Amino acid sequence: MKKLVTYVICLGVLAVAAVSAVAQTPTPQQTREANLKAYTNMLREDLNKDKVSILTELMALGPEDAAKFWPVYNEYTKSLTKLGDERIAYIRMYADNFHSLTDETATKIALGMMDVESKRIELRRQYFQRLSQTLSPKDAARWLQIEAQIEKVVDLQILASLPIVD
């Protein structure tokens, strides 16, 4: 879990780096964008490895149930990554407009972030239902609890690293 927190802190640093990347000229910014994207992908891969490790330990599934669980979980992760991309886009929008944030842009970002959160909740609901049918409702609830805890740690680190709106 300590490793997970370290990667989450790195995600927070990444969000702050996005804020500072705004003031660059186009060519260095393009370089930063590529580096930022590569770094984000590396962090995601590391975070996913840690999540798999945590889930493997805490789910404590036998071989038969594990064979049912992991394909469904991998689908979930792909969908969650798409939502993560949406979230990053709003964080970038905030970074790009931080020093001259208008009421209109602030509203767009806030509503967009809430929309992404609603989609995440709906995604967890869908996969809880699938896992309840694939395994058992108790196993699905265990997954949901673990997933929610990990997401909260990640969310807290990212949000704590972003500057508060002036």
- The one-character DSSP state at 23 is T
pTM of the full predicted structure?
Answer: 0.74
Q: What is the pLDDT of residue 166?
A: 84
Kindly tell me the number of DSSP H helices and DSSP E strands found in the chain: 5, 0
Cβ contacts of residue 38 below 8 Å, gap of 6+?
Answer: none
Name the stretches of the chain with pLDDT < 50: 5, 7-9, 13, 16, 21-24
Cβ contacts of residue 155 below 8 Å, gap of 6+?
Answer: none
